[in-house]
Amino acid sequence: MRKTKFIFIALSFLLFACQSPQKEAGQSPASDKFSLQEQSISQIQEGYRNGDFTVKELVQAYLDRIEAIDQNGPSLHAIIRVNPDALQIAEELDRELSAGKSRGPLHGIPVVLKDNIDTHDKMPTTAGSRALMHSFPLRDSYVARQLKEAGAIIIGKANLSEWANFRGELSTSGWSGVGGQTRNPYVLDRNPCGSSSGSAVAVSANLCVLAIGTETNGSIVCPSHSNGIVGIKPTVGLVSRTGVIPISFTQDTPGPMARTVKDAAIMLGALTGVDSADEKTWASAGKFYTDYTPFLKKDGLKGKRIGLFTAPLGVNFKVDTLMAQAVRFLKKQGAEIVEIDEIAAPEVGGYSFEIMLYEYKDGLNKYFRSLGADASIQSLEELIAFNRTDTVELKYFNQKYLEMAQEKGDLTDKEYREALAKMLQGSRQNGIDRVMDANHLDAIIAPTGGPAWKTDLTNGDSFQLGSSSPAARSGYPNITVPMGFVDELPVGISFFGRAWSEPVLIEIAYAYESGTHHRKAPGFLTTD
């Protein structure tokens, strides 16, 4: 029987609960009382205009919630560091509003950045590593500078899977030596996925309005899906990586994380542009928008031809059931669905891994040099040596990938150049481009992943299914949107496609979200 038949057979099954989640004893999470619960960018801007609150009052409310929910209460461990200057920045933005000046839709909007994104302020940028606990970059990342110019307030840095989860074997997503273990706000003993774990949890738990994550393969879309939010992994080059601690020059990209497609689209528009220091962005000239809101169309599914990527199906019948419901909705809204069982050849994954090792060594060494002569860590070799002597860093998993990267040569090596050429051809011309051309597709859909697994620091992560690789390896865009729940755990649907196709993906994702409304705030549950 074809795997895709399972999604329709699964409709006859009920989603039985395997456990009995309950609210934590003695806990009264502020989710029920928080006055800004689930507030959107538009609602906050309306509040400013109406005089319902000031920027400083709003920022204080979010800082109080971080203390109550993240540091105390359920102890989510989503935030590594709070910006000590947040209220001072808020006062300045209030003065601008009083003078009749607004920098745009992000004026006065609280944002957190994944802590592998440089900020030149009183917050270090650590990648979650104790080796960088006192590392203060010499300048803002391009992304941080754009956000500040747009009036957003960076209220904190988010916890993450240390070194963006490319350090060693048997790792646990959401754990870092600096921030500890991030917890899933829906069911606290479940994993938040990663590596942008804290960014996703902060948005989902209403610790901020927006967040920035980064992705090499799955690190925006997986935590977004596991925490019931929207994540956009842009085309590589749409958003600058200057000042972002790297893994892969070929695959890395920052991207917006939000509770709605509209908020994510607004944030994306503030992040685009050509950065002279990041050559990948040069290709975005003439292809990017500074405003993606015109693509927010409730009828955006009408007439669209969409491929259903079937490889992730047949693994979890509960996820298949939700996917079948999503397909039925898409068809009802006027989309045509075409089944696709393969996108890229299996060997593309091996090429991607080799590329990551080479580019990791090159990128990390360049990043460490950017920190100046007084930086505590000057090279990948020194980082490896630090971890071997630290009492925490190798407690739960090793650093095999760092060591493998250190053994590689430079980017002129024949092995690297051949792997890069083969991966790009296999994932692009012979991958997504081929499939979309042959089937005349506007986009491809798939379940983003399975329900969150129990966090296990002994055995590491227990990934069940996922669909991030085709878009990640090709460097093409991917948007995940809440698709429903398995028991109390959110599951997402991914929309991905050609390079620079963010406008059409936003149309499709927004139309799906507008007709389904699967997002609901987390309940901070525990299990028996």
Residue 265 belongs to a domain: yes
- pLDDT of the residue at 447: 99
Q: Which of 135, 195, 199, 427 is catalytic?
A: 195
- pLDDT of the residue at 22: 58
pLDDT per position as a tens digit, 40-65: 999 999 999 999 999 999 999 999 99
pLDDT per position as a tens digit, 69-82: 999 999 999 999 99
pLDDT tier at 1, thresholds 50, 70, 90: very low
Strand order in the sheet with 489-496: 79-82, 153-158, 110-114, 210-215, 253-258, 230-233, 478-486, 489-496, 443-447, 305-309, 336-340
Question: Is residue 196 among the annotated active site residues?
Answer: no
- pLDDT of the residue at 33: 79
- pLDDT of the residue at 527: 84
Residue 324 belongs to a domain: yes
- pLDDT of the residue at 21: 59
Residue 519 belongs to a domain: no
pLDDT tier at 280, thresholds 50, 70, 90: very high
Check whether 114 has a pLDDT greater than 70: yes
Residue 380 belongs to a domain: yes
Tokens found for residue 512: 């799906």
Interhelix angle 142-149/261-271, nearest 10 degrees: 110
Average pLDDT over residues 219-244: 99
pLDDT per position as a tens digit, 399-445: 999 999 999 999 999 999 999 999 999 999 999 999 999 999 999 99
We report the CATH number of the domain holding residue 285 as 3.90.1300.10
Place of tokens 């090429």: 351
Check whether 237 has a pLDDT greater than 80: yes
DSSP string, 26-93: T---GGGT-TTTT--HHHHHHHHHHTS--HHHHHHHHHHHIIIIIISTT----EEEE-TTHHHHHHHH
pLDDT tier at 32, thresholds 50, 70, 90: low
Which has the closest alpha carbon to 2: 232, 268, 339?
339
- pLDDT of the residue at 528: 65
Q: How many domains does the chain divide into?
A: 1
Instruction: Share the mean pLDDT of the chain.
Output: 94
- pLDDT of the residue at 26: 35
Question: Is residue 195 among the annotated active site residues?
Answer: yes
Average pLDDT over residues 279-307: 98
Residue 523 belongs to a domain: no
Residue 101 belongs to a domain: yes
Residue 527 belongs to a domain: no
Q: What does the DSSP 8-state code read for residue 13?
A: S
pLDDT per position as a tens digit, 92-110: 999 999 999 999 999 999 9
Residue 524 belongs to a domain: no
Check whether 356 has a pLDDT greater than 60: yes
Check whether 299 has a pLDDT greater than 60: yes
Check whether 11 has a pLDDT greater than 50: no
Average pLDDT over residues 19-28: 45
φ, ψ dihedrals at 371, nearest 5° = -80, -10
Q: Which of 31, 56, 114, 240 is catalytic?
A: 114
Question: Is residue 332 among the annotated active site residues?
Answer: no
φ, ψ dihedrals at 155, nearest 5° = -90, -10
**CA separation for the pair 249, 398 (Å, rounded):** 24
pLDDT per position as a tens digit, 496-506: 999 999 999 99
Domain containing residue 387: 5-11+18-513
Q: Which of 135, 196, 219, 468 is catalytic?
A: 219
- pLDDT of the residue at 24: 44
Average pLDDT over residues 225-254: 99
**Picking from 33-37, 186-190, 279-283, which range would have the lowest pLDDT averaged per residue?**
33-37
